[in-house]
Chains A and B, each alone.
Chain A
Amino acid sequence: MNTAAAFSDFADVQGLLRFGYKHHVESAFALLRVRNRAAARAWLASAPVGSAEKGAPPPVVLQVAFGAEGLRELGVPDAVCASFAPEFLAGLGTDANRARRLGDLGVNDPSRWQWGGPGAEQVPHVLVMVYALPGRLESCCRELESHWGIAFELMRWLSTTDMGGVEPFGFADGLSQPEIDWAREIPPEDHDRLTYGNLSCLGEFVLGYPNEYGRYTARPLLEPVGAAAHLPRAEDAPDRADLGRNGSYLVLRTLRQDVPGFWHYVDAQSGGDATQRKQLAEAMVGRRMDGQALLPPDDAPLAGVGTDAASRAKNGFTFDADPAGVRCPVGAHIRRANPRNPDLPAGTSGLVSRAIRMLGFDAGALHADAVASVRFHRVLRRGREYGVRMSVSEALSGRAPQVETGLHFICLCADLARQFEFVQGAWIAGTKFAALPHEADPLLGNRLPAPDEPDTARFTMPRAGCPSRVVDGMPPFIEVTGGAYFFLPGVRALRYFATV
């Protein structure tokens, strides 16, 4: 197969897929329920949605996404709704089996959520995300509210706080992101990748294009008649209108962070020593607080990582040189969220060596093979912090501000099951990740005893020349307080929802 032409339809893509809107430091997310269908459709038909085209950014950018129930409320036919992903249709907080799989139990149980939990009235229909240059947010939100009037009922605004690229625990955030192959340089073929790279096929994040398997992820394909006639056609089925094309699934989870709790725990484990405290926290995260990696960059540059020194230092590393986790613990947050592995454990090149590893006869490779094929499990993160930023000393002072603080975790992916749910369920919440017993993610784990695993509250730091250091009795540091799955449509698909 030949490489397709570079992607150019940016006008039909909502900007969030391409931009983080870092200059738009003010943002707020409206959770809406449709009150009046006609009025809601009227607003959506002309909502000034920011596209992914480059150019001087407007002072305020809107992005609009839909819950499954929202599509039905807007009058999208059932047959069309039913052809979206099953995970999207079932919802994030309304299925006990999903909650168990994702670790949303105990204090994270959806029945306790402030929004998005079980009960139809808890689930937002429409998500409107507002990104604004400094000083522009407030007036824009008031103006939107007046526009919405009878169209929507405002469930709540999720407010955010600009913490300068640092998440509430105090760590630089958003450093590791997959690079989307907008140029479509990766041929749409299915073969093993023997080195880890950071460049992801367009179809991993944007529906309607080949994914890492060289295939088109399932999405609604319609008869190109009526309102659907204005939709783009499907690349893989040119006589069908592609409702998914240029869209993506969006996961929004509100994670309340217990900043004092985190630093008090780390402090107690370090005997009050500031240096050790910082080291332990950095081992748990897997990066220094300023974002520096715990490992030097690999000798060979990684695809999808800039070749300048700063990019390489930030993201040009793998864990190949540290299989035991002496420098970056195997269970560290960033290593769970992205183990940076290729499809096959490293080894010498050559067909025989490859066959040996493929058949599982290389004991060393097998040991490193509990987790593999990371390229199928990437997500594009677009989260924003909320609450107040506090320093470590404030957090430890006992006078920490009593303001709910945390992260509105947002990620985009084309396949909720294979990307977000896999990472969250198998790697973050999983209590046997990479054969590590007794621990889940050191930041996000719920620490609950599983029915057959009484202790999940440890964290192991392998050391050279002496036994591993293990800290235990870790309390939960985050609490999920809300969440939902959304579909972030392409611009033409958005207008279709307003007119069908």
Chain B
Amino acid sequence: MKIFDSIRFRFTSGVFLLIIAITALLSILSYKYEEQAIEKRVYAQLNATADLKKELVVNYINERMNDLRALAAAADLRESIESSVHRKAWPSKTGYYTHSYQHLGSFKATYPDYLSIEVTDLKGDVIISSEGDHPPVGHAHSHRKGIDQFIDTLKRGGAVITQDYLDEKERHLDFAVGVRDKEGDIHAVIISSIGLKNMLFPLFSDYTGLGYTGETLLLKQKGDDIIFINETRHPRSKGMAGAEYHTKNTLGRAAASGNEGIDESVDYRGKKIIAAYRYIPALRWGVIVKVDTEEAFEEIMRLRKRILILSLFILALMLPVVYVIMTKFINPIVSMTQKTGAVASGDYSIRVGSHRRDEIGSLQNNFDAMVEALRTSRKEIAKKQLELEDMNAALERKVAERTAELSDANVALTKAAVQVQERVEELEKFYEMAIDREIRMKEMKKEMERLRAELSKHKKDADGR
């Protein structure tokens, strides 16, 4: 029998294949489930971080704006500003000026991110500055260009933020609100320059939870380009070294143009990233919280390896165990096959002698019983055969005797037959002669009758005449 035709091979390989298939299926299902869970966790974490970072910026901006509003609403400062504004000559040495200057100065000193606080008139000329006479009071501040375009909004009590200095060395935002006089009309503007380096940027250089590659970027759209507002965690590629712009950042563009979501992309280093992006309407900025895909899904790679190793381990453990178990089941069958062969060859002394209590044990016991029954039966048959042979011999003898007797009788009979034959022939001859005589007699009789008839006729004719 070929090995491939054997039950051992077929059964064992079938069970092996089944176990491999089940292990593979379970591994794939488990991997997919875990992969999904990891992906969801990564997305949720990035989303949560992006929401948090956005919230931080929004709250920070809101707080700074509220600070400025509170400052602009402070009665003593308003009074000082009003007095200063209405003076024809610039009041750099007056008490009002000193009071306002000190007020602004102490406010500025409270927060490390305030670069300067200045009060201007509606034309944009500086009246009071936390920096004293530097820049010179009474002159339009070169940094206040952006305020001019919002002067109508400011005059009506609005608050504005200008962002003309994001690409400057000292990146800062200018917050501005109007200051009301006693009648409630806006007659001056108070402007605070907030440096981003000391307060806002540190919030974004905290990479907690973002691993070795993750970072948070603040971005702004400028024409077709995207400006990086804060420092990037990784050095930029050669082409971008020192540059503020990156035109290919599609997620940055999406975020800075009013979209929020999560997606995969390629960052400024050309690395594949997964990023959650948010939009800050007040500043028209985008926030991107990103991490390299490789790192974000490193766990998935690890999981893949782990599941592969675990599967191989399970198979390595299972296959010998299965082999042993299969052997335990198959061996009795194979042994039975061999013993059946021996029985078929006429060896009825074969016995399995099983102690098993299962179906195979029962089969083996039945086999033994069957072989025993077969052996007994064979014995009986042999005995009967011998008897038959004896009877046969006796019969044959009798037949031979009878045959001899018959043969003698036959010879005698043949002789008698010959004699009988001779007699028969003699009789036949006699008979033929007798018959011949009889025939002649009959013919003679007929002739005689005919003659009688003719005679009679002649008599009648003669009578008639």
Say if A and B assemble together: no
Binding site for B on A (CB under 8 A): none
Binding site for A on B (CB under 8 A): none
